[in-house]
């Protein structure tokens, strides 16, 4: 199956700052859109942290045979759908931790939607 992908983000007509981030990684079959919330600094930071974390964790779990042990993922649950789920959960933890650590980021968050293509399935 051939997948064509592209991305663009536009601030729109109601807001002054764009808090969106997206990920297109055709080599991994990983695609994600994150829409930050919590003000310009927090929302933008949260959406970027989400997409970079998901990419990092999925890459690690899919291509590093020792990663499931390091990250505490049960080997039986290491199929692509669970890898994506684990990556999104890790992104949520990192966003939460940063919001606790930096008072300028308190209240930040992001919505996210992600897809992982692992032929012949889409997760």
CATH assignment of the domain containing 33: 3.60.40.10
Domain annotation covers residue 12: no
Q: Phi and psi dihedrals of 110, rounded to 5? A: -155, 150
Q: What's the rounded Cα separation, in Å, for the pair 120 and 80?
A: 11
68-91 pLDDT tens trace: 555 666 665 678 999 999 999 999
Structural domain contains residue 118: yes
Express each pLDDT in 51-67 by its tens digit.
999 999 999 988 876 76
Q: Predicted confidence band at 116 (pLDDT cuts at 50, 70, 90)?
A: very high
Neighbour count for residue 80 (Cβ, 10 Å): 19
Give the per-residue pLDDT at 32.
98
The domain containing residue 45 runs over which residues?
20-122
Please check whether residue 9 lies inside any domain of the structure.
no
Q: How many domains does the chain have?
A: 1
Which of 118, 120, 121 is CA-nearest to residue 28? 118
Structural element, H or E, at residue 67: helix 67-70
pLDDT of amino acid 102: 93
Structure tokens at 74: 């049960």
Q: Which of the four pLDDT bands, split at 50, 70 and 90, describes residue 101? A: very high
Which token pair is 122? 């889409």
Across the chain, the runs of DSSP E, i.e. the strands, are 20-25, 30-37, 109-118, 121-122
Neighbouring residues of 40: CB distance < 8 A, sequence distance ≥ 6 = 16, 17, 19
């Amino acid at each position: 199956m051939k997948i064509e992908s592209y991305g663009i983000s536009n601030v729109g007509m109601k807001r002054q700052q764009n808090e969106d981030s997206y990920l297109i990684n055709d080599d991994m079959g990983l695609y994600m859109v994150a829409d930050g919330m919590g003000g310009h600094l927090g929302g933008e930071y949260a959406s970027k942290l989400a997409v970079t974390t998901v990419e990092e964790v999925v890459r690690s779990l899919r291509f590093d045979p020792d990663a499931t042990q390091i990250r505490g993922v049960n080997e039986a649950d290491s199929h692509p759908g669970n890898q994506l789920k684990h990556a999104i959960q890790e992104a949520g933890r990192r966003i939460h931790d940063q919001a606790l650590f930096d008072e300028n980021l308190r209240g930040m968050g992001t919505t996210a939607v992600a897809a992982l293509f692992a032929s012949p399935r889409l997760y």
